[in-house]
Structure 1
């Protein structure tokens, strides 16, 4: 099939946009230019809007199998397509946990049948996510494990983490960590700060996250493992990651849009839509995350899209589960709050949300180049819209961003040259 995506604009390395059309054939980008003649099976007029490579999200929760009342692979991948993502990496906190080759293959069977975008599935570090018994990494890799993580819980024992890192290094795989020392939780549900005191809620110490990162960085140096830190949220975490990078440790890190935009002082009331893990931190932490992105300490932006049922989130911090959805508006919020205000450039945002996440994990994605897969997104950077959870493709609506204004709405998303999202359709 031949498709012409015409009259768009692409971002250049000097942070300017230039007029461009893209010729797509047999699922790949055949040519990038201004005008093409000939017969095409499909012609789409981008009308001067931004064309980028498809975004890459290395941290989503699709909840299937086991929790399909929250989300499914079909609904979660459709939400990703709506947000301009063409590759997403799904966490293994499922039921059953995909901790054997057979269980992981069963998840990939659903992905093959139902996914609207490319979905890469994580496998767990330990059996059932909580045991001290390591999974068979070699067998899991053979059936397509993207990387290894116990996201949702931190690996509590240093010895377990050390052995897992040695195995990951031997298998040339990344070990991806949700860092949380449970002995430092003390029943906390939001960041330990003045706002928690005002709301009468138990706080989560910054050290709960940063102390485990510090432990793991020493272990990563000892094992030579590629160690990737999920959803960094504190200034102390940024500091120890920065120091480790300077020391030559193979560490990469991600930050989520909500931690870049919000802080604990923004939480208006004791309401579960504001509860996430890690929690919204202090204003100084938020600034450290922004600086960490800008100086390269933090490598990429990932949504941590975490859908939940309406009733379970529509209650107090004390009872609601952690997590917010984010796939459908992540680029839009980052563009609106940082590019439009001059803090980030458009090139930087595309780098953090497409190029870098693909590069650090060695994925064949995130490149707008001739011969590459035609994984593309088209964004309207000019028209403001309101984030409306009534229009979400995700099954879940748990987000405090409902009603916020944003720019950069996704007009089209292509995966391997196939149109998987079109606004208004």
Structure 2
């Protein structure tokens, strides 16, 4: 039997960090011992000291772009999951905007085989809603679920037809799977590259009205109410969208939402120049929208933080926003970025942040084995040194993407260890080079 004893760590008990030890055996959590005195002292196991770090369940990302197949120049399953592990993520849901997209059970099955062969963390496939993500040709939703899909999404593209979304939600409601929507009405985008506001005017760049998101959110919530489907709003970005979700929840609609780290940490006024590193979809909104998302997390309207991690090549991002690809990298430092910006100043409690990154997202997608650290459960865990300060340096990223607007930002709370089924998939402990 393979055994590892994790020592010199703290775990949260409610909101309080408590000295603890954790014994891992054959990929599962065998014993959790809390308190300074432990019955595990002297146990026959390999001992790993975590130097007082916070041990949490492995983080769960509902929204990641691994790019393979078809866009391996941007990312591969191997490099993308290594990047996830670097940030403490042990379960990620892969969006289907690959080439080809996995719109059939055969393609989805091939995707699962790739995940198993090359992934160092657990990867769960999200099926497209329509073939190619832009057609009105609905996939065979029951067959996709049978093949392993955990949700449906055309992320990167809004579903333009209300009829297609209605048919998709009717089928998804029967199957008990969420429809995760990228809410964007193409007729309102009009070539925009950032939020339609003062900063767009200052930079002389075309803006994207907030209505492009919100009108589809309102439409989709009405369809969800009619069909009984679980509607999940990807990367919420406007106060109006969050208000609409909150009202729908109060009316009994099965509606959930996620916030992306970049939409919590930056507003359009923070864009320093016409810099493609700040181009994302949805775009950075106003400071008031950022505040609305913080409020939405704290009152439960938004149930998870998900990265929308979107790697691109340097040529696609080191250019004007007019020409750049949409998308940013955050997943290797998500915890540290949010811990530094919100927990240390007292806006979030530490246990809240951990919840929004672990069991919160797992519960939204019904992932019963993910996001929890419990006796008998899988040894999927992450450890964060809350006192370790690091600088976000894209040149040191484990993934291929370097497109981070947080380059040079100093943060506290680096991930020093990630385990998946008891296997170390990332280690940055002090006793390691």
For the aligned pair, the TM-score class normalised by the smaller chain equals over 0.9
1:384 aligns with 2:389: yes
**Matching residue within 135, 142, 149 for 1:138:** 142
**Matching residue within 329, 336, 341 for 2:345:** 341
Alpha-carbon distance in structure 1 between the residues aligned to 2:333 and 2:416: 12
The correspondence of residues 53-132 of structure 1 with structure 2, limited to 5 A, is 53-132=57-136
Return 5+ residue gaps in structure 1 as ranges.
none
**SS state at 2:69 partner:** coil
Alpha-carbon distance in structure 2 between the residues aligned to 1:37 and 1:289: 44
* Deviation for aligned residue 1:42: 2.1
1:27 is matched with: 27
1:160 is matched with: 164
Runs of 4+ in 1 over 4 A off after TM superposition: none
1:407 aligns with 2:408: no
TM-score by length of 2: 0.97
Alpha-carbon distance in structure 2 between the residues aligned to 1:162 and 1:323: 28
2:269 is matched with: 265
The correspondence of residues 17-416 of structure 1 with structure 2, limited to 5 A, is 17-34=17-34, 35=38, 36-363=40-367, 364-416=369-421
Cα RMSD (Å): 0.9
Return 5+ residue gaps in structure 2 as ranges.
none
Deviation sequence 1:299-328 (CA, Å, 0-9, x none): 110000000001111101111110001110
Alpha-carbon distance in structure 2 between the residues aligned to 1:86 and 1:231: 20
1:10 is matched with: 11
* Deviation for aligned residue 1:41: 4.2
**SS state at 1:343 partner:** coil
* Deviation for aligned residue 1:37: 4.0
Aligned length: 424
Deviation sequence 1:272-305 (CA, Å, 0-9, x none): 0000000000111111111111111111100000
* Deviation for aligned residue 1:5: 0.5
**SS state at 2:52 partner:** coil
**SS state at 1:43 partner:** strand
Mean CA deviation greater in 213-222 or 128-137: 128-137
Alpha-carbon distance in structure 2 between the residues aligned to 1:236 and 1:214: 9
* Deviation for aligned residue 1:38: 4.9
* Deviation for aligned residue 1:33: 0.5
Alpha-carbon distance in structure 2 between the residues aligned to 1:389 and 1:231: 23
* Deviation for aligned residue 1:181: 0.3
* Deviation for aligned residue 1:25: 0.7
**SS state at 1:228 partner:** strand
Deviation sequence 1:7-59 (CA, Å, 0-9, x none): 1100111x110000001011111110152145544210012111011000000
